[in-house]
Amino acid sequence: MLAYIIRRLFSTLVVMTVVAFVVFSLLYLTPGDPAAVIAGDAATTDDIARIRANLGLDEPFLVRFGTWAWGLLHGDLGTSIFTKLAVTHLIAQRVEPTVALTLCTLLVAVAVAVPLGVIAAAKAGTWIDRGVMAFSVLGFSVPVFVLAYILILTFSIELDWLPVQGYHNLSDGVWEWLRHLILPSLALGTVYMALIARITRATMLDVLSQDYVRTAQAKGLAPSSVLIGHALKNAAVPIMTIVGIGIALLISGAIVTETVFAIPGIGRLTVDAILRRDYPIIQGVILIFSAAYVLVNLAVDLSYMFFDPRIRY
């Protein structure tokens, strides 16, 4: 088992190296002169030269990658072209809202979607099942920001129940903090819920057709304990997998959600960086988000041992 964990850690390391290499190489692979693009149309040759030096484009590729990767290993993500502040500092300032938003969404989505999927599978073929499937297809089709505006127009502007935009720190009071997270979490969580509900239903249908489920039913166990104790427990691994993979949806969606709801998180930092073409920030954000994504999925992989005692590596 230890050997498996070490092997898995090693492959995570390989993936992260590739991510770093890809993110770094984009600067060299894109057509045209990225320094000129970043500098914009009104730039002087001095500006372009300064940006080229900041990005290290005047050094040979491998030398530059070496310096950059060395800095990365020491927690240095470079400096912003526009504000001249360290990227790590800029990101650290913005971490709280993004973590609050994604965690809140994750909890709500799993708490809603898994029961939905289980009920749909238990009542397969009925209108409940069709309703859940319809919600799932719809959830995949409505983009995050369209849903976000529909929610704001309904619950904030028409009904005046919840704040339109903004973010409150947790330290300023739990209620205010939560109130500002309800709509963003709903908007961000819907596509994620759709995905989890769909996979939960599919896996549950698979498990429910197994012999041991029939045995449990034949023993006269209560339907609910068969459903939860026997079926859901055995469906946990695929569900966990999709919860982990779906984090990518949350990360992409968080950027848009923060823009719509004016939440000062990492997503908002990214969008501001795009407008100023501040590539070091974008580079840093991608690395941080990808690392988070890879680590969450590593944790999910390792959690299989807990959810399914049969899995022993």
Partner 1 sequence: MSTLALPAARSTSPTWLRLRNALRRHPTAIVGAAVLGIMILVALFAPWLGTIDPQAVAPLRRLKPPSAEYWFGSDMLGRDVYSRVIYGARVSLAVGIAVALFSTFVGLAIGLVTGYIRWVDAIVMRIMDGLMSIPSVLLAIALMALTRASIGNVILAITLAEVPRVVRLVRSLVLTLREQPYVEAAVAAGTTLPRILTRHILPNTVAPLLVQATYVCASAMITEAILSFIGAGTPPNIPSWGNIMAEARSLFQIAGYLILFPGICLSLTVLAINLLGDGMRDALDPRLARRM
Applying CB under 8 A, which of residues 2, 42, 73, 275 lies at the interface with partner 1? Answer: 275
CB distance 290 to 129 below 8 Å: no
Our finding on whether 236 is near partner 1 (CB under 8 A) is: no
Our finding on whether 25 is near partner 1 (CB under 8 A) is: no
Our finding on whether 153 is near partner 1 (CB under 8 A) is: yes
Q: In terms of CB distance, is 104 or 249 closer to partner 1?
A: 249
Applying CB under 8 A, which of residues 90, 152, 188, 195 lies at the interface with partner 1? Answer: 152
Q: How many CB atoms lie within 10 A of CB 185?
A: 22
Burial class (CB in 10 A: 0-12, 13-18, 19+), 91: buried
Spatial CA neighbour of 30 closest among 55, 67, 54: 55
CB distance 222 to 122 below 8 Å: no
Subset of 29-68 contacting partner 1 (CB under 8 A): 30-32, 34, 37-38
Our finding on whether 15 is near partner 1 (CB under 8 A) is: yes
Applying CB under 8 A, which of residues 9, 111, 150, 222 lies at the interface with partner 1? Answer: 150
Residue 162 is given by DSSP the state: S
Sign of CA dihedral 178, 250, 279, 70: positive
Q: How far is CA 116 from the centre of its chain?
A: 21
- What does the binding site for partner 1 look like in residue numbers (CB under 8 A)? 14-19, 21-23, 26-27, 30-32, 34, 37-38, 137-138, 140-146, 149-150, 152-153, 157, 164, 198, 202, 205-206, 248-249, 251-252, 255-256, 259-260, 270-271, 273-275, 277, 279, 282-283, 285-286, 289-290, 293-294
